[in-house]
Structure 1
Amino acid sequence: MTEDKQTADLRNANAAAVTGTGTSAQWLARYSDSLMGVFGSPQRVLVRGAGALVWDADGKEYLDLLGGIAVNALGHAHPFVTSVITSQLATLGHVSNFFTSPTQIALAEKLLQLSQAPEGSKVFFANSGTEANEAAFKLARAHGGAARPTILALEGGFHGRTMGALAMTAKQAYREPFEPMPAGVRHIAFDDVDALRDAMDGTVAALVIEPIQGEAGVRPLSAEYLQAARELTREHGALLILDEVQTGVGRTGDWFAGIAAGITPDAMTLAKGLGGGFPIGAIITFGEGPSQLLSAGQHGTTFGGNPVATAAALATLHVLESAQVLANVRTVSEIFAQGIAPVDGVTEVRAFGLLIGFDLAAPVAAGVVSAALDAGFIVNAPRPNTVRLAPPLNLTAEQAQSFIAALPSLIATAVAAANLEGN
């Protein structure tokens, strides 16, 4: 094979991958032959997107109401974000953390400003939510030392799948195959102030909580619990760490759910929507004490905070601010809440901006997801009777209404399928 033919073959292969040439069945066969099965079989092969819409390899259109699980804050292929990423990549892509870049510094400054962090606060950039929570785990260890070996987390919580984050995650099915977990993590009852009070003592290094648990079905902690968490951790000399990987960066209609509730944590983790679809995570430490716990050489990352990721995040934050997207989040959230609540078969709606969970009278959420996909909607079922929505934050009212109009039929289809299986 000549060099010219090799180049041509590579160009053709790349073109096929970019354009999605081939049917869904062909791509899925190749997927099963080449990728690990940790995600099961993909539901569809998606080849392009625009705003809240995506198309699969067979040309079918879908309204994306999951947003890559709360990642695509501005939908797909947002023109400003993509232009900034392209420009930055053409200028400077990766430098390692032996060096810094203007975008890294500017993003850190912006996050400190948006989070209302006090003097002495700092930022560390990672590549994902689980990596941000790994940094939080080490922060807690550095704070506690041998005298304070305990990290408290909540039942129902999800903090990631790497080992430290997994230790803080409560779901036994995720943890059991990889035990023993890193030691010292205790899970206590969700939203139970008495249980928190009983668990707090001089051995606790940190309490790690999500203001709203997404994987548990969009369950919020009460204002009373958040306040008690801040008071009790301060009283006992422990860190309060807020995991805002899913709830942060405007998802709830505020920049950060915990801070909007009046809580100033010792640390806060972010990811998902921060990069508008580009991988980036962060931990913000609040004040000089937490910010000095990790010193040079005690933590790091090769790719974290690279110029392209931080440029993507700056572009995303700019659009969220300049286009009044957070106001849209609150408006569309109300449309969803009011439209879904009266639908036959829905028993409860929990809407926090555009992080929405609604419960069903029957455990047919997986069937609703399947029926929705067939009808051109992408949603998710975190529990057997709960459907979750986490769409782009610039979703329109009309797009929300289209799903609400279809929902009665989707539930009916799922219930009928479940009844048929049961007979």
Structure 2
Amino acid sequence: MTKDDLAKPDATGLRERHATAFMPNYGVPPVALVRGEGAYVWDEAGTRYLDLIAGIAVSSLGHGHPALVEAVSRQVATLAHTSNLFVNEPEVLLAERLLGLLGAPAKVFLANSGTEANECALKLVLKHGRAGGRGYVVAAENGFHGRTLGALSLTGKASIRDQFGPFPLDVRFVPYGDADALKQAVTGECSGVFLEPTQGEAGVVPPPDGYMAAAREICDATGALLVLDEIQSAIGRTGHWFAHQHDGIVPDVLTLAKGLGGGMPIGACVGFGDAGTLFAKGDHGSTFGGNPVSSAAALAVLGTIDRDGLLAHVRSAGERLAGGVAGLRHPLIAGVRGRGLWLAAVLTAPVAAQVQEAAQRAGFLVNAVQPDAVRLAPPLIVTEDQIDTFLAALPAILSEVAS
């Protein structure tokens, strides 16, 4: 194989080649993507799609954004990896930037992914609990925190959890949004509470008014740590830097990933106050955590969101998208859930998979996150014209499914 072969790989038959080479846990994804620009992606046949998934709320700046390309290219040519045995400047700058955005005394651990950020948070909770004789953790039904065994033990989704149990942790699940159930479950023997400010994989389900504040009060009263999983909801996705800022609270532990790297793998666990100093030297680690290239990418994402006023854009674009879907008055549309550019079109029938397929045929990538809910999480740079193009096409997409 020559250098030219490596530069221009053969993209033909990628789905068939995937089926041959990969484990079957994903099945075979329906589209093989080969290129992206802005909010658009192209498949191997040259078909263009408006990307309304953004890699599951990851590609904050869309595809090929100049700021991200420049930051990653510069850093990989300067210093690509150090491990945790040495300090690199991008990781320090990133930690400082996150703390500045959060505006509260805290400390950061950088990892490679969301599930690893949640593993870090879980270890903090366990160390806190064992120091105080606390023995169990509370999480929410239908919550999703990852697929590694520790994070999976916190995930309240039986279909992906049960076949890998029993788990060594005592995790007690309560209905999401039920403050009374949460109060009954959290006692002085509880180590910590894991919640999403909006449940993502459950179908983009926001909390009822006052629920997050009640969770904060319950944890304050009992001494349990409040852990907020913002793997999907942070970094401008809901129109604030962090979704918990909608509720005016500060968690004890915060986990981040997805949109932080704009497409590069990164995760972060932030411990506030005493939670930030629970670990002693050697308690936790990551060879690739704080990687300078991923950290440089995250700095580019944060800088671009700030410089280009994308938080305000997310709020206005999200209102346009949500209002447009809700205003269709189509018999398949029951309503819209979510905030900013993190929404679910709620359906009157369990046909989300068919809607996803019909949208793909029409040139739009959406996600059937639940049987009756279609997730819409476009890049934060999606334009109003692009949103209007989707809204104009949606009635025919829905009618194709309904017929």
Q: Same fold (TM over 0.5)?
A: yes
Kindly state the Cα deviation for residue 102 of structure 1 after the two structures are TM-superposed: 1.0
The answer to whether structure 1 residue 277 and structure 2 residue 263 are counterparts is: yes
Q: AA paired with 1:188?
A: V
Task: Report the counterpart of residue 161 of structure 2 in structure 1.
Answer: 175
The answer to whether structure 1 residue 194 and structure 2 residue 186 are counterparts is: no
Q: What is the TM-score of this pair, normalised by structure 1?
A: 0.93
Q: Deviations over 1:240-268 (max 9, x none)?
A: 01101100000000000113311111010
The answer to whether structure 1 residue 145 and structure 2 residue 130 are counterparts is: yes
Q: What SS does the aligned partner of 2:399 have?
A: helix
Q: AA paired with 1:301?
A: S
Task: Report the counterpart of residue 261 of structure 1 in structure 2.
Answer: 247
Q: Percent identity?
A: 49
1:296 to 259, 266, 281: 281
Which piece of structure 1 moves more, 145-154 or 230-239?
Answer: 145-154
2:326 to 341, 344, 360: 341
The answer to whether structure 1 residue 307 and structure 2 residue 299 are counterparts is: no
Q: What SS does the aligned partner of 2:219 have?
A: helix
Q: What is the TM-score of this pair, normalised by structure 2?
A: 0.97
Alignment of 1:62-101 (within 5 A): 62-101=49-88
The answer to whether structure 1 residue 352 and structure 2 residue 344 are counterparts is: no
Q: Are the aligned partners of 1:175 and 1:181 in contact in 2 as well (CA < 8 Å)?
A: no
Task: Report the counterpart of residue 409 of structure 1 in structure 2.
Answer: 396
Quote the Cα distance in structure 2 between the aligned partners of 1:368 and 1:182. Answer: 40
Q: Which runs of 4+ in 1 moved over 4 A?
A: none
Q: Are the aligned partners of 1:122 and 1:286 in contact in 2 as well (CA < 8 Å)?
A: yes
Q: What SS does the aligned partner of 1:29 have?
A: helix
Alignment of 1:370-385 (within 5 A): 370-385=357-372
Quote the Cα distance in structure 2 between the aligned partners of 1:28 and 1:250. Answer: 33
Kindly state the Cα deviation for residue 360 of structure 1 after the two structures are TM-superposed: 1.1
Q: AA paired with 2:378?
A: P
Task: Report the counterpart of residue 5 of structure 1 in structure 2.
Answer: none
Larger-Rg structure = 1
- Stretches of structure 1 lacking an aligned partner (at least 5 in a row): 1-8, 417-423
The answer to whether structure 1 residue 223 and structure 2 residue 209 are counterparts is: yes
Task: Report the counterpart of residue 26 of structure 2 in structure 1.
Answer: 39
1:11 to 3, 17, 32: 3
Quote the Cα distance in structure 2 between the aligned partners of 1:213 and 1:22. Answer: 36
Cα pair distance change 1:190/1:324, threshold 3 Å? same
Q: Are the aligned partners of 1:333 and 1:351 in contact in 2 as well (CA < 8 Å)?
A: no
Q: Are the aligned partners of 1:242 and 1:268 in contact in 2 as well (CA < 8 Å)?
A: yes
Quote the Cα distance in structure 2 between the aligned partners of 1:353 and 1:193. Answer: 25
Aligned residues: 400
Q: What SS does the aligned partner of 1:335 have?
A: helix
Q: Deviations over 1:363-396 (max 9, x none)?
A: 1111000000111100001111111101100100
1:328 to 313, 329, 343: 313
Task: Report the counterpart of residue 3 of structure 1 in structure 2.
Answer: none
Task: Report the counterpart of residue 419 of structure 1 in structure 2.
Answer: none
Quote the Cα distance in structure 2 between the aligned partners of 1:158 and 1:36. Answer: 23
